[in-house]
Structure 1
Amino acid sequence: MSQSAQSLAPVRFDTDAGSKLSALRRTKFVATAALALCVLVFVLAKSFQASYPWLGFVAAFAEAATIGGLADWYAVVALFKRPLGLPIPHTAIIPENKDRIADNLGRFIEVNFLATEPVREKLAEVDFSALVADWLADAERAAGLSRFVVRLVPRTLAAVEQSGLRGFVTSRMLEQIEKVPLAPLAAELLSALTDDRRHQKLFDEFIKVIGRFLNDEQALATMRDKIRE
């Protein structure tokens, strides 16, 4: 990362954090103002309800809105901290239980998303060949991929030649081949070939092919011409 990019990264982070903090403050101000308005409406409606009975409905509405707002405020604050700083039980739920929440969340993801069976089922649902075919059906993408391969293959071969990778791989293959017991493999191969007289059947088929070739005048003429050449 260049020096200019390093200097811009913290500034961007601070800008994002500042904008989010400003939005949070605006939201809190609007919510507090709405709650205060509901309390004010409730007080005024109750004060003039004797003179205007219909204000009872307004007071009931404002009372319900006030109680709902206080309940929402308490529920949200109790998740993250102590309401009004008081040590009320079952508050500051997330800070007090963050380790347990993280363990349970990690276990849930591991069991339901990263376990062998769910991953296998999800992969079985994906038709990778169809995805590749659809992607390559686009002429522009196919041309771009071909150009990339044409540039990549010579460089790859040159890198392999210069790095000595081919010699290393060859030596390793020879070492592994030398460790292979050829005699038992040859014995098993001969056993499989001679079992149930398979070798005789193969020989009969070979004789039939040779017979058909020798009876084909055009093939014999072609072979004579090749021998003369």
Structure 2
Amino acid sequence: MGTMDDLAPQAAAVPSAAAEWTESEREKARGVRRMKAIAAGFLLFAVVVFVVTRWLESRGAGAWAGYVQAAAEAGMVGAMADWFAVTALFRRPLGLPIPHTAIIPTRKDALGDSLGEFVGDNFLSDAVVRGRLAQMGVARRFGVWLSDERHAERVTAELSALARAALTILRDEDVQTVFAQAITRRVSARQVAQPVGALLGRVVADGGHHGLVYLVVDNAHK
């Protein structure tokens, strides 16, 4: 095992976390230490006032000592309650396993889920979004904006430029393929064979096909 002299250079070589802080982080840390010192100073002042007024009251001081003592006592209780409440959010006060403490480290996942559900239910749900959009009147506002001739001309020019660019880039073969596939899917999705067959059957039953046959024959002889 190495001696303390052997471990000293290694400890010096490892930079501390504070040494890696930025100037802004150092300033925040100094601010936190300053506020802690001020809070501790007020607590110590309240303790001193409480002790002094308690001693004065035992020596027969007037009623004012009791009022000052009560104020100092309330200050001490409030300070301890605030310290416990804030500390309990992030860690165990004094390292004691007190229930319902270290809330954020131990329940951060549940808190995140609850916050997500709250935001989703109250701000991002379908009904809420639809209601907000209805209140905003997006279509009406866009219609009013578009009713201005300058805005309409601007939109037309932008759309025309976009259409020209799209037509320049697209090839005829690609467009034909897309339209052919779209029409094929639409026709396949709709059962047109049976209605067309029924229609032709009705035409044949009524003798309506004779006129078509005569027309074809007449055109063939011409």
**2:109 maps to what in 1?**
99
**1:33 maps to what in 2?**
41
Q: 1:155-177 deviations in whole A, cap 9, x for unaligned?
A: x3453244326652343113333
**1:126 maps to what in 2?**
136
Gaps of 5+ in 1: 1-12, 189-229
Q: Residue 45 of structure 1 contacts residue 59 of structure 1 at CA under 8 Å; is this kept in 2?
A: yes
Change (3 A) 1:41 1:132: farther
**1:197 maps to what in 2?**
none
Gaps of 5+ in 2: 1-20, 200-222
**Are residue 46 (structure 1) and residue 54 (structure 2) matched?**
yes
**2:178 maps to what in 1?**
172
Change (3 A) 1:70 1:145: farther
CA deviation after TM superposition for structure 1 residue 20, in Å? 3.6
CA deviation after TM superposition for structure 1 residue 62, in Å? 0.4
Structure 2 letter corresponding to 1:37: F
Where does 1:156-167 land on structure 2 (aligned, <5 Å)? 156-164=162-170, 167=173
CA deviation after TM superposition for structure 1 residue 149, in Å? 6.8
Of 64, 72, 79, 2:74 maps to 64
- What value does the CA root-mean-square deviation take over the aligned residues? 3.6
Where does 1:76-115 land on structure 2 (aligned, <5 Å)? 76-115=86-125
| Secondary structure at 1:67 match in 2 | helix
For 1:94 and 1:79, locate their aligned partners in 2 and report how far apart those are by CA, in whole Å: 6
For 2:166 and 2:83, locate their aligned partners in 1 and report how far apart those are by CA, in whole Å: 66
Structure with higher RCO (Cα < 8 A, 6+ apart): 2
Structure 2 letter corresponding to 1:113: F
CA deviation after TM superposition for structure 1 residue 24, in Å? 2.8
Q: Residue 88 of structure 2 contacts residue 101 of structure 2 at CA under 8 Å; is this kept in 1?
A: yes
Q: Percent identity?
A: 37
Structure 2 letter corresponding to 1:78: A
For 1:43 and 1:75, locate their aligned partners in 2 and report how far apart those are by CA, in whole Å: 25
Change (3 A) 1:21 1:175: same
Q: Residue 145 of structure 2 contacts residue 151 of structure 2 at CA under 8 Å; is this kept in 1?
A: no
Give TM-score, length-normalised by structure 1: 0.59
Q: Residue 43 of structure 2 contacts residue 76 of structure 2 at CA under 8 Å; is this kept in 1?
A: yes
Change (3 A) 1:65 1:128: same
For 1:18 and 1:135, locate their aligned partners in 2 and report how far apart those are by CA, in whole Å: 51
CA deviation after TM superposition for structure 1 residue 34, in Å? 1.5
